[in-house]
Amino acid sequence: MKAYKIYRRDAMITGPLMLVMALLVMLTLRNEANWIYQGMMKNSALLFVSLIFFIISGIALYLPYFSKQDVKGMPRLAVIAIIIQYLIGSYVYGIAHLPYIIYPNVTILSGFTDPTSFRAVFATYIVGFAILVPGFYYFWSIFMKDQRRKFKRRQMSN
């Protein structure tokens, strides 16, 4: 349990720092790349939702601090919340970035590949992922079982 506490202590430092950095990013964007700042602000409601998820993950991590009982905290919820937060953030940035890939030189239309090539490439994505995803799932389950067994062994020998 000690390791978990150390992780949590450091998360308490890096989490707020990350939030500060995110605010700095928005602030500097407004000055230097107003076009994308305006685009992101169109979805300011979503940015707010993303902030809420960030706070949820913080609460999930620090639950033990808020109660006197021996509560373990909810690391799983914290991860899910943080990934959702991340997903929303990158969606807002991504949408605002369109149609440019590189501002102002290349847009998605000017850079786009030949339609026949696109169809062929897209087909390989579908086939490739249909083969690989189950394969990796299988491997991951073997591997995780292995890790857990090793961990148990280490715990017992301590």
Please give the residues from 4 up to 63 whose contact with another protein meets the rule CB under 8 A. 4, 6-8, 10-11, 14-15, 17-18, 21-22, 24-25, 27-29, 31-33, 36, 57, 61
C-beta separation of 54 from 48 below 8 A: no
Residue 157 binds to another protein (criterion: CB under 8 A):
no
Cis before 104 (ω within 30):
yes
By the rule CB under 8 A, 71 interacts with another protein = no
Residues binding another protein: what is the number (CB under 8 A)?
A: 80
Phi and psi at residue 39, to the nearest 5°: -60, -40
**Among 68, 70, 114, 157, interactor with another protein by CB under 8 A:** 114
How far is Cα 128 from Cα 151, in angstroms, rounded to an integer? 34
- State yes or no: residue 141 binds another protein (CB under 8 A): no
Distance CA 110, CA 108 (A): 6
Using the rule CB under 8 A, give the single segment among 44-52, 62-70, 88-96 that binds another protein.
Answer: 88-96
Region from 41-49, 62-70, 147-155 binding another protein, contact rule CB under 8 A: 147-155
Binds another protein by CB under 8 A, chosen from 68, 102, 156, 157: 102
Nearer to another protein, 69 or 124 (CB): 124
DSSP 112: -
Q: Which of 31, 15, 25 is nearest to 92 (CA)?
A: 25
User: Other CB atoms closer than 10 Å to residue 57's CB: what's the count?
Assistant: 23
